Amino acid sequence: MRPFPYPCLVLLLGLVPLLPAAERPNILVIAVDDLNHWVNHLGRNTQVITPNLDRLTARGVTFTNAHTASSVCNPSRAAFLTGLRPSTSGVYGNATDWRTVIGDGYALPGLLRRQGYYTFGVGKLFHTARHIRPSDWDDYPQNPRGDDSIAQNENSNASTERGAPGQAVRYTAGDLSIAELPGGDESVGDYWSASAAISALAEQRDRPFFIACGIFRPHLPWHVPQKYFDLYPEDSIHLPPYRDDDLADVPGGKPSEEHLKILKEGSWKKAIRAYLACITYADVQIGRVLDALEKSPHRDNTIVVVLGDHGWHLGEKQKWRKTGLWEEATRMPYIWAGPGIARGGRASQPVDTMSLYATLVELAGLPRPVHVEGVSITPYLRDPAAPWDGTPALTTWQFNNHSIRTDRWRYLRWNNGNEELYDHSVDPYEWHNLLSPLNAERSAGINLDQLKSELGVFFPKINRTTEEGARLYGGEQKPAGRNRP
């Protein structure tokens, strides 16, 4: 009989963390910038080609009524990565570096790192890849092509309207910048980000990993290789359902200047085509990362989360871009897969992105920090048909403007007192504001006062200013770390 190698065992115990860290699941989060609910399996846009996002749903659960905590990048990301809602932290806009409001010790990657995870980030996870706090990450390689709109503006020393050979075809729709690039996938920085995530997935480590990959498309500018535009001939493009009089029942509602410009130009389909091309480009990069995970030894013990950071209007309600509190700006894909998660599930319970932190901590078997807001969606991951717990999705847009989304209703309350109410059981595009006198016939039979008070209890009780948040959460006046001017 061979002697038991005690000296080796002692040595190993000294090197390996003692916790059951080895039993904790790995985590892969892919955050897709400005990806609204136009993924094929959600059915809102039936032309979009997203095979990789769709196939992930076959091995996991997709949430069909998922909404962002805030409808622009910075507050959305700060919220789901720190567990603090915008109204709690005071991070409302893109101009605020979240680190100047929320100090060290709150962010999810930092928590996981302190609990023994290897934490790796690449691409845009917080508002920009520059707004990272080094204590949160073991490794955060900087994309040499850049991680944001300025640097991702690709190779384009020369371009023409018509596109001479080897040059981009470049044009606008409204003020939206579009380019059909002559190069391959690697001509956009997301290719590099995905490759970095793939390399990180391939490494063997003695501890679980948290790998987060920010994919920047379909964020503007809508510049991707021409082959993605070729998938969507302009004359085949369908416009989303809309009404010319849609804003008549919205307090202060009027078409955006950009929408009027796009109508005047006749460039609505051009814009949709470019957004679809960018979504498919992003889907291909996501597919590369998912393929790498599938082929890796980590495939069976890694939780995968793919989410958009908020929605995007493409002319619905005569509006373009993100911001605001309507369905198009709040709803995003939210897909989970991995050990203990049902396969092929469609979960229709209303959820918001605050669930990310709470759920990942629970699935990792870690204590939930007291500051973390949001409901764990673990019951829906195990059983997508589990009864809804009644907590609506909540979206905040700037100071004290909020929107509640339940299984049936959307209730908006603006800080000037304006309110809107939509019934999704009959009005999926939010055409009929039931609180407008113009829709009295439609709202007859609904006890509006009672409904408003039932839904209104879910609006935040606290709405902090940015300064109040910074005082409470210890934001740094001059954050450490890479912070390019």
Active site residues: 73, 127
d(CA 239, CA 220): 20
Q: What's the token pair of residue 69? A: 């905590």
Q: Using the minimum distance from each CB to Ca ion, give the nearer residue, 136 or 246.
A: 246
Strand 168-173 and strand 159-160: the pairing is parallel
CB of 11 to Ca ion, least distance (A): 48
Q: Using the minimum distance from each CB to Ca ion, give the nearer residue, 204 or 425.
A: 425
Residue type for position 363: L
CB of 167 to Ca ion, least distance (A): 29
Of positions 33, 148, 180, 283, contacts Ca ion by CB under 5 A:
33
CB of 34 to Ca ion, least distance (A): 4
CA nearest 458: which of 397, 374, 379?
374
d(CA 93, CA 427): 30
DSSP code for 310? S
Using CB under 5 A as the binding rule, the residues of this chain from 156 to 175 that contact Ca ion are: none
**Residue 34 touches Ca ion, criterion: CB under 5 A:** yes
Binding string, residues 383-412; x marks residues near Ca ion by CB under 5 A: ------------------------------
Query: Which of these segments, 31-39, 399-407, 417-425, 450-458, binds Ca ion (CB under 5 A)?
Result: 31-39
d(CA 357, CA 279): 25
Q: Using the minimum distance from each CB to Ca ion, give the nearer residue, 50 or 349.
A: 50
Helices and strands in the chain, H and E counts = 15, 19
Q: Is 388 helix (H, G, I), strand (E, B) or coil?
A: coil
Binding string, residues 421-450; x marks residues near Ca ion by CB under 5 A: ----------x-------------------
CB of 35 to Ca ion, least distance (A): 8
From the number of C-beta atoms within 10 Å of its C-beta (0-12, 13-18, 19+), residue 352 rates as buried
Query: Which of these segments, 27-35, 132-140, 411-419, 443-451, binds Ca ion (CB under 5 A)?
Result: 27-35
Q: What's the token pair of residue 271? A: 């814009």
Q: Using the minimum distance from each CB to Ca ion, give the nearer residue, 34 or 148.
A: 34
Using CB under 5 A as the binding rule, the residues of this chain from 244 to 273 that contact Ca ion are: 246, 249
The per-residue DSSP string of 410-460 comes to EEEE-TTS-EEEEETTT-TT----TTSGGGHHHHTTS-HHHHHHHHHTTS-
* Contact residues for 155 (Cβ-Cβ < 8 A; gap 6+): 168, 181, 183, 187
Report the residue number whose CB is nearest to Ca ion: 73
Q: Using the minimum distance from each CB to Ca ion, give the nearer residue, 59 or 432.
A: 432
Cα 152–Cα 212–Cα 138 angle in degrees, nearest 5: 105
Query: Which of these segments, 143-151, 203-211, 242-250, 471-479, binds Ca ion (CB under 5 A)?
Result: 242-250
Query: Which of these segments, 139-147, 240-248, 403-411, 463-471, binds Ca ion (CB under 5 A)?
Result: 240-248
CB of 389 to Ca ion, least distance (A): 28
The per-residue DSSP string of 193-216 comes to HHHHHHHHHH---SS-EEEEEEE-
Q: Using the minimum distance from each CB to Ca ion, give the nearer residue, 97 or 309.
A: 309
Q: What's the token pair of residue 231? A: 């998938």
CB of 302 to Ca ion, least distance (A): 25
Q: Using the minimum distance from each CB to Ca ion, give the nearer residue, 432 or 464.
A: 432
Q: How many residues line the site for Ca ion (CB under 5 A)?
A: 7
**Residue 190 touches Ca ion, criterion: CB under 5 A:** no
Q: Using the minimum distance from each CB to Ca ion, give the nearer residue, 27 or 73.
A: 73
H or E element: which one contains 464?
none
CB of 432 to Ca ion, least distance (A): 6
CB atoms within 10 A of CB 186: 12
Of positions 73, 129, 200, 372, contacts Ca ion by CB under 5 A:
73
CA nearest 340: which of 21, 20, 19, 23?
23
**Residue 148 touches Ca ion, criterion: CB under 5 A:** no
Q: What is the 3-state secondary structure (H, E, C) of 86-145?
A: HHHHCCCCCCCCHHHCECCCCCHHHHHHHCCCEEEEECCCCCCCCCCCHHHCCECCCCCC
CB of 418 to Ca ion, least distance (A): 14
Q: Using the minimum distance from each CB to Ca ion, give the nearer residue, 388 or 414.
A: 414
Query: Which of these segments, 22-30, 241-249, 276-284, 336-344, binds Ca ion (CB under 5 A)?
Result: 241-249
d(CA 211, CA 209): 6
CB atoms within 10 A of CB 230: 10
Query: Which of these segments, 34-42, 230-238, 468-476, 477-485, binds Ca ion (CB under 5 A)?
Result: 34-42
Using CB under 5 A as the binding rule, the residues of this chain from 280 to 319 that contact Ca ion are: 309
CB of 64 to Ca ion, least distance (A): 21
Q: What's the token pair of residue 270? A: 């051009």
> For binding to Ca ion (CB under 5 A), which residues are involved?
33-34, 73, 246, 249, 309, 431
